[in-house]
A = this chain, B = another copy of it.
């Protein structure tokens, strides 16, 4: 089960986004799809540190939230592609801000202290 907890606390847009994208991998998946459609195997290779099970799980969750679409071309061998919806593309600014701050932070610790 577990299905879709996604309990959305109404009235807090930050929580809404966090419940969707705050996970450990969601934004990385979106990042890989930002350039266009990707197959399952591609995503797996592009994100080597995520386990198969979790990747499937994240993709399901994101598809469920309608940020991406899963397309199963009924072929043999199987071919399944994922691509962002228009809604999913609206999440890209979050990704951009996240990446940008990561760079700022990296620059900061590089010529300063922090990170014991």
A residues sitting closer than 8 Å to B (CB atoms) are 3-4, 6, 8-9, 12-18, 20-24, 27-28, 31, 49, 64-66, 87, 90-91, 93-106, 108, 113-116
For the complex, would chain A's binding face be called helix, strand, loop or mixed by DSSP majority? Answer: helix
> By the criterion CB–CB under 8 Å, are A93 and B100 in contact?
yes
> By the criterion CB–CB under 8 Å, are A22 and B20 in contact?
no
- 8 Å CB contact of A102 from B13, B108, B115: B13
What separation, in Å, do the CA atoms of A115 and B87 have in the docked complex?
14
What separation, in Å, do the CA atoms of A103 and B10 have in the docked complex?
11
The interface residues of chain B lying within 8 Å CB-to-CB of A106 are 13, 16
What separation, in Å, do the CA atoms of A66 and B90 have in the docked complex?
30
